[in-house]
Amino acid sequence: MMPYWAELVELFEYKVTDVLEGRVPRGGRRSLTELREELLGAPLEPALLRRVMESDRMFRGQQGGQVPLPHRGRPAPLPHAAWEAPATADSDETRAWEELHTLLWHHRAARTLQELAGHWQRDATLQRLRVLYTVVENAERAVGPGYKPVPVPAANDPLMDLHDPEVNQAIAGALSTLLLTEAGRSQVRTALSEVQAEPFPRHPDEDVLAARLAAAEREPMAPEARERLIVALKAEYPLPRDPRERSVIRVAAREVADQLEPLLDSAPSRTLGAVPHGSVLYAQHPASAMRVPDDGADRLIVHLRGAQAARWRGLELRWQPIGPNWQLQVDGQVTLLRPGLSPADRTQTVALPGTHLRLFVSGAYLMLHIDSQAAVELGRRASLARAVSLLLDSQEQFAYLRLARAAAGLLRGGPLQLDSLGPDSARKYHAATPDVLLAFARKGVDNLSARLGRTAPEQAAGAFQEAAAALGLHPRAAERLHGALHAALHRPEPLPEPRQGERFTLTDEGFLSVQLTDDPLTLEAGPRGVTLRYDYKGELVAVLPGLAPMILHDLLVVRVPDLHLLLVRHGTWLAATVGRDEPVPTLRLAELETGDITAH
């Protein structure tokens, strides 16, 4: 299927070139439009997808009256690349970028507040919940005329029902709504300070009573008489609350502040008018445009008016405008995005196998965020990388890749096509570029793993053994490939906690975990070294001496003589290891070894 898609991409490029140069493309503009829609939704390898995105960007620019320089054949960078100014502070793109990150932060903050409210409800005196209630009340009232702070309610206040979980969740929800705006966060900080300074107002007679009690303590009288005097004084000056409760409430208020202050400090700051380079898919501004979706990231921002489809982390995304709203389809699930709702209501959730996809919308911009456990997600990716690396082993004319294709045919119920699976079929693999071959091997692992998940283990093992025998491979080759695919499907690689640093040495004993920063990272793999750094587009690039720079999205396998390098990423968590190829066991080699043993 690779040559088929490559030919369609090349045809699309030629048709776009005709339009840019003022000619009618062969087949008319309708044929160009239909081909464009087909390619935007096609399962293309990264290299082909980049070509489609580049041609589509130029085509859309011409449609909008911005005609780039014409070119022929495969799109290439302009010979004199110029610096692109970032989007201005008042642009739709900048405002949407800031709001989407605020909505994501608010979603996380709301979950944190719900958890805190549930935890504090287990307190016997509900002191922290009473403080939280007061903070919310005073922050909401602060904007009104004649504002007067309300005191922290007493533990036995009959009007409070903080034992009710619904009441507590409502308080947490009201606080999270306040946190949506900078003004609301400022009001919360002020209210929190006020509660710590004065939990409840002093009674007018409180100082008088304190002075008389102090004088009674100094009176030279019997202890029983002094006690009766103190009781009488307290009866003469009854106070609504015990003053000693203030210190207890202040302690609770400091505990609440210890939880809320880091949350408030983590709120997104203003971007100062600059959207990061390469951070928005189908962006309006060229400097912000992302070349291809980053499968290694847990979030993606899309300009919905820039296209109608994308593929990210294995998800097929399609959308279309419906009046002021947008209809989004995620792997067959349809959701209506409504930008006109209040900010707190512009968050939706799509259930996916094993996780959730959060959707945040701002105007014509959408942020997709995957909820996942980073360690498990990256462990699965590491197991997947080992299986992909096995298919990329070029020994015995890509024996494992041919074995995978043969086994896939048998699992589909078809006959073996040995003419297309022999050693001669590996010529196209040798001729393919590393990124195309990596994408092909990964797609093969994904397809085989999906099929193995629907097949009984005994049947799958039999298919691999039959395919290996037909290709002249030893049963151990079938077991090795089947085991790697089974691990990619069921056994995430165990990973250590990420370390901080700028230089590490890789071994073949397991994956190393590193926390990525803005500084370059050097990994030493035997006599070779690989440097990971972010380029001007904000993409993570792996650089090895003698090889062209390679973009690391979520998974990268680099094969050099004597070893292979495995790199996987989830956000800023990188896991890396090296491996060395074992000889591919073949029937011919097994017969030679048997002959040697017999001869001796």
305-327 pLDDT per residue, tens? 999 999 998 899 999 999 999 99
Of 15-29, 57-71, 312-326, 543-557, give the lowest mean pLDDT range. Answer: 57-71
pLDDT per residue as tens digits for the range 485-530? 999 998 999 998 889 999 999 988 899 999 998 889 999 987 888 9
CA distance 593 to 600: 11
Residue 103: what pLDDT? Answer: 94
**Which residues fall within 8 angstroms of residue 211, CB to CB, at 6 or more apart?**
none
Residue 336: what pLDDT? Answer: 94
pLDDT reading at 64 higher than 60: no
Radius of gyration of the chain (CA): 33
User: Of the ranges 141-150, 158-167, 286-295, which is most confident?
Assistant: 286-295
Residue 83: what pLDDT? Answer: 40
Of 93-107, 237-251, 293-307, give the lowest mean pLDDT range. Answer: 237-251
Burial of 175 (0-12, 13-18, 19+ CB in 10 A): buried
Residue 204: what pLDDT? Answer: 56
If you average pLDDT over residues 453-475, what whole number do you get? 92
Residue 413: what pLDDT? Answer: 86
Using an 8 Å Cβ cutoff, are 542 and 532 in contact? yes
Residue 514: what pLDDT? Answer: 94
Residue 67: what pLDDT? Answer: 39
CA distance 282 to 267: 27
Residue 2: what pLDDT? Answer: 45
Helices and strands (H, E) in the chain, number of each type: 17, 19
Q: Between 555 and 353, name the one with better pLDDT.
A: 555
If you average pLDDT over residues 460-481, what whole number do you get? 93
CA distance 244 to 223: 23
Of 32-46, 244-258, 371-385, give the lowest mean pLDDT range. Answer: 32-46
Beta carbons within 10 angstroms of residue 407's beta carbon: 28
Residue 592: what pLDDT? Answer: 54
pLDDT reading at 197 higher than 80: yes
Residues 194-229: b if buried by 16+ CB within 10 A, e if exposed: bbbeebbeeeeeeeebeebeeebeeeeeeeeeeeeb
Residue 591: what pLDDT? Answer: 57
Of 31-35, 499-503, 571-575, give the lowest mean pLDDT range. Answer: 31-35
Proportion of the chain above pLDDT 70, given as a percent? 87
pLDDT reading at 438 higher than 90: yes
CA distance 379 to 374: 8
Residue 259: what pLDDT? Answer: 92
Residue 276: what pLDDT? Answer: 83
If you average pLDDT over residues 181-194, what whole number do you get? 91
Residue 70: what pLDDT? Answer: 38
Mean pLDDT of the chain: 83
Q: Between 341 and 55, name the one with better pLDDT.
A: 341
Residue 79: what pLDDT? Answer: 36
| Confidence class for position 415, pLDDT limits 50, 70, 90 | confident
Residue 531: what pLDDT? Answer: 93
Q: Tell me the two tokens of residue 140.
A: 């909401």
Residue 203: what pLDDT? Answer: 56
